[in-house]
A and B are shown apart, each in its own frame.
Chain A
Amino acid sequence: MRNRSQPPLSPEAAALLSFTRSSLSRRTLMRGALASGALAVSGSALVACGTKGAAQTEDTCVSEDLSGTEKTLTVSNWPQYIDVDEKDESKRPSLIAFEQKSGIAVSYTEDINDNNEFFGKVQNQLTACQPTDRDVIVLTDWMTARMIRLGWFQKLDTAKMPNFQKNLLPSLKGRPFDKNTEYAVPWQSGLAGLAFNGNVAKEIRTVDELLTRPDLKGKVTALTEMRDTMGLILLSNGHDPSNFTKAQFDDAINKLQKAVDAGQIRRFTGNDYAPELAKGDIAACIGWSGDIIQLGLEDEKIQFVAPDAGVMLFSDNSSIPNKASHKANAEQFLDYYYDPAVAAELAAYVNYICPVAGAKEAMEKIDPDLAANPLIFPDDALLGKAKVFKALTEAEEREYESAFQKVIGA
């Protein structure tokens, strides 16, 4: 074997190196040309076509229901959104009771952390009308609205869901994105409002204080959820988030931009504001009612504030994606959680607003204090202040979201 001072190079590397040394031989040139030619041909094949629309209809994507033979169900939900046993956190009492009652084995995973990320996770399958291997997914209003718009959900057979028909709160019936209440079953609702840590800051009452008070500078966070943050700012300007104009939105965006430029706002966050608020790195923030109640149980100086100008009401909804093969099981499961006694059990743990009528009475038997908490069973005064962000078309969604993303730095 010949002994060479340098290890032999691959033809490509050699071609590249000789290219950089600008001593191009005809042979390497030929090789390079051939290689780039092959790349160009396969490339142009792909480049030539765009994509089709992602929307599906009941005719283009037909799902089969195997519930009759398969007594299983796969549910995807957000973390800490179901009751767990105090002694053994891997046990979920309400779920175990359902499995025993129905004989359906439920595989429950907490793999939804962010609406946008989850959308990215399932979008290819749902665009192509392929199974996502999930029978029930829980997403926030606007994402549910988007998926309904894209035709990615199966229509529920509500006739088989007596509890749901009877006990769904009237204010959640016939919402703009689901006029006949046949795609989305609210799992929990909640409020987006203000919160502060009394250990490091004085009480805060309004969004304007949050965005301008000098003692809070650099200790304020707002949510990356555009509808919650912008909704509260629109309200503070005296505008209605469920019915606003482009100019009013721009006003609100400018107000937010000023606060960002002034260094008042430290970060925009998802759920991760909670530990920082507890530590006191954040003095005040825009946050979600359920999180703040849970923090308040550990430190009573952490409080939720519903500004007089109004709060934002959101729901997380369970839906059945296309090609999920256990629709009837899923309907049985969702209806079970609309039994007031079960709903109260769930609400006692998750501390969000319970969408089930009659649960308050059931809750009084479990925990009278929680039954009296207006953030779990809101009174009319609070509900009167609560607004829902208006349903956006795809074009509006992109326009507003782009403007908002620009302000929050991305």
Chain B
Amino acid sequence: MTLMTGIGAAPAGSARPARKSGRRWLPYLLLLPGTLWLVVFFFGPMLTLGAASLWDPAGSLQTGYAQTLSFGNYVDAVRDAGPQLLRSFWYAAIATLIGVIIGYPLAYAIALKAGRWKYLLLVAVVAPMFTSFLVRTLAWKTILSDNGALVGLLRDIGILGADGRLLATPIAVVLGLTYNFLPFLVLPLYASLERLDRRLLEAAGDLYASPARSFVKITLPLSMPGLVAGTLLFFIPAVGDYINAELLGNPNTYMVGNVIDSAFLVRLDYPHGAALSFALMFLILIIVMVYLFRSGTDEVV
């Protein structure tokens, strides 16, 4: 806003009021596409979904749904999908943890140690995103196949039993989640580590801080905004994901996304599907708020 008024004020002396008043509309004009986008693709769908979540569950596609403000839909939906809901948060949390363990050293190495390999490594992190999500997940089916090399190796060295497998297990689902969302964690982390002022680390060394201590006291706190943003960008889509559970899992590893998918496409139970979607959204929102509050960062990257 200060910028805008600054520009508007500059030619004020040259006395062309018509132009000035025209410029007052400029910011709103510039905001228009974004606002329209939000209204059409965000508020509109949210309102219709919200309305659908309160429809009379006794209705059907054929007879139509009456709006009865049935808040009971939320109770029913969350109760029926309880196991899948818990599982979603549990799997996403484990995957996020693994993601941080893999992603932090990776981002650190790229930002601080990679030298001239930096951009090549960055491309390597991003390149998988050039192919479709689905294709990448299907590739894991081949990698983890029961008769594949990886499972054969793990069986030979005794990590898996003779009849053990990876595909269609929770391990495969968590692995798929970790793999698919890792770039979202690495990129913000890289961005904040890259801006790290290395003189601070030198100063810490001069003052006889051990490397571990200067990491805990300097690097980690300064990379916090990147870590918080990265874990959120990882965790939120991971909770709602259903492709990994469907392709790499079994009936006992399905997540809440699968239930919502089935409610809308197979069971045609729109009120409960919509209620479950909203409930999931609220739960994620609460978790994110608590997380942001606890981590004490209001400036995310």
Chain A residues packing against B (C-beta within 8 Å): 1-2, 6, 8, 17, 20, 39, 42-43, 46-55, 116-117, 119-120, 123, 149-150, 218-219, 260, 263, 265-268, 276, 279-281, 394-395, 398, 401-402, 405, 407-410
**Whole-angstrom distance between the Cβ of A286 and the nearest chain B Cβ:** 14
* Cβ–Cβ contact B252 & A409, under 8 A: yes
* Cβ–Cβ contact A119 & B252, under 8 A: no
* Cβ–Cβ contact A405 & B61, under 8 A: no
* Cβ–Cβ contact A43 & B50, under 8 A: yes
- In the complex, chain A residues whose CB is within 8 Å of the CB of B69: 47
- In the complex, chain A residues whose CB is within 8 Å of the CB of B293: 20
* Cβ–Cβ contact A410 & B258, under 8 A: yes
* Cβ–Cβ contact A281 & B167, under 8 A: yes
Q: Mark B54-86, 1 if CB is under 8 A from A, else 0.
A: 111001111111111100000000000000100
Binds A, one of B113-121, B205-213, B260-268: B260-268
* Cβ–Cβ contact B67 & A50, under 8 A: yes
* Assembled-state Cα–Cα distance A126/B69 (Å): 27
**Whole-angstrom distance between the Cβ of B292 and the nearest chain A Cβ:** 8
If A20-B293, A265-B251, A408-B251 touch, whether A54 touches B267 (CB-CB below 8 Å) is no
**Whole-angstrom distance between the Cβ of B162 and the nearest chain A Cβ:** 13
Nearest 6 pairs between A and B by C-beta? A409-B251, A409-B254, A410-B262, A53-B64, A50-B67, A410-B258
If A42-B47, A410-B259 touch, whether A54 touches B61 (CB-CB below 8 Å) is yes
* Assembled-state Cα–Cα distance A53/B54 (Å): 17
CB-nearest residue of chain A to B63: A53
- Check: B214 CB closer than 8 A to any chain A CB: no
**Whole-angstrom distance between the Cβ of B20 and the nearest chain A Cβ:** 19
* Assembled-state Cα–Cα distance A149/B61 (Å): 11
If A43-B47, A398-B267 touch, whether A1 touches B60 (CB-CB below 8 Å) is no
- In the complex, chain B residues whose CB is within 8 Å of the CB of A47: 47, 50-51, 54, 67, 69
**Whole-angstrom distance between the Cβ of B261 and the nearest chain A Cβ:** 7
* Cβ–Cβ contact A1 & B146, under 8 A: no
- In the complex, chain B residues whose CB is within 8 Å of the CB of A39: 43
CB-nearest residue of chain A to B151: A281
Q: Mark B273-301, 1 if CB is under 8 A from A, else 0.
A: 00000000000000001000100001100
* Assembled-state Cα–Cα distance A219/B84 (Å): 23
Enumerate 20 A-B pairs (CB-CB under 8 Å) in ascending A order: A8-B1, A17-B298, A20-B289, A20-B298, A39-B43, A42-B47, A47-B54, A49-B67, A50-B65, A54-B64, A150-B62, A267-B251, A276-B141, A280-B146, A280-B147, A405-B262, A405-B267, A409-B251, A409-B253, A410-B254
* Cβ–Cβ contact A55 & B267, under 8 A: no
- In the complex, chain B residues whose CB is within 8 Å of the CB of A265: 250-251
* Cβ–Cβ contact B59 & A50, under 8 A: yes
* Cβ–Cβ contact A279 & B265, under 8 A: no
Chain B, interface size category, equals 35 or more
- Check: B127 CB closer than 8 A to any chain A CB: no
If A280-B146, A410-B254 touch, whether A120 touches B265 (CB-CB below 8 Å) is yes
Contact of A401 among B59, B266, B298 (CB under 8 A): B266
* Assembled-state Cα–Cα distance A123/B168 (Å): 33
- In the complex, chain A residues whose CB is within 8 Å of the CB of B268: 398
- In the complex, chain B residues whose CB is within 8 Å of the CB of A402: 267, 269
* Cβ–Cβ contact A117 & B67, under 8 A: no
* Cβ–Cβ contact B250 & A267, under 8 A: yes
- In the complex, chain A residues whose CB is within 8 Å of the CB of B145: 279, 281
* Assembled-state Cα–Cα distance A398/B268 (Å): 8
**Whole-angstrom distance between the Cβ of A81 and the nearest chain B Cβ:** 21
* Cβ–Cβ contact B146 & A281, under 8 A: yes
Contact of B165 among A1, A6, A218, A410 (CB under 8 A): A218
Q: Mark B23-66, 1 if CB is under 8 A from A, else 0.
A: 00000000000000000000100011011001110011111111
CB-nearest residue of chain B to A280: B147
**Whole-angstrom distance between the Cβ of B2 and the nearest chain A Cβ:** 6
* Assembled-state Cα–Cα distance A55/B62 (Å): 6
* Cβ–Cβ contact B51 & A394, under 8 A: no
- In the complex, chain B residues whose CB is within 8 Å of the CB of A281: 145-147, 167
- Check: B6 CB closer than 8 A to any chain A CB: yes
Given A47-B67, A398-B269, 4 extra CB contacts under 8 A? A50-B64, A50-B68, A407-B251, A410-B259
If A47-B54, A409-B251 touch, whether A117 touches B62 (CB-CB below 8 Å) is no
- Check: B3 CB closer than 8 A to any chain A CB: yes
- In the complex, chain A residues whose CB is within 8 Å of the CB of B55: 50-51
* Assembled-state Cα–Cα distance A395/B50 (Å): 24
- In the complex, chain B residues whose CB is within 8 Å of the CB of A51: 55, 59, 64-65
* Cβ–Cβ contact A119 & B265, under 8 A: yes
- In the complex, chain B residues whose CB is within 8 Å of the CB of A50: 55-56, 59, 64-68
* Assembled-state Cα–Cα distance A395/B299 (Å): 52
If A268-B251, A280-B146, A409-B258 touch, whether A117 touches B60 (CB-CB below 8 Å) is no
* Assembled-state Cα–Cα distance A337/B250 (Å): 40
- In the complex, chain B residues whose CB is within 8 Å of the CB of A267: 168, 249-251
**Whole-angstrom distance between the Cβ of A92 and the nearest chain B Cβ:** 26
If A265-B251, A279-B147 touch, whether A116 touches B266 (CB-CB below 8 Å) is yes
* Assembled-state Cα–Cα distance A407/B165 (Å): 22
**Whole-angstrom distance between the Cβ of A399 and the nearest chain B Cβ:** 10
- In the complex, chain A residues whose CB is within 8 Å of the CB of B67: 47-50
* Cβ–Cβ contact B254 & A1, under 8 A: no
* Cβ–Cβ contact B2 & A8, under 8 A: yes
* Cβ–Cβ contact B63 & A266, under 8 A: no
**Whole-angstrom distance between the Cβ of A265 and the nearest chain B Cβ:** 7
- In the complex, chain B residues whose CB is within 8 Å of the CB of A394: 60-62
Q: Mark B80-119, 1 if CB is under 8 A from A, else 0.
A: 0000100000000000000000000000000000000000
CB-nearest residue of chain A to B242: A410
- In the complex, chain A residues whose CB is within 8 Å of the CB of B146: 219, 279-281
Q: Which of B158-198 contact A (CB under 8 A)?
A: 163, 165, 167-168
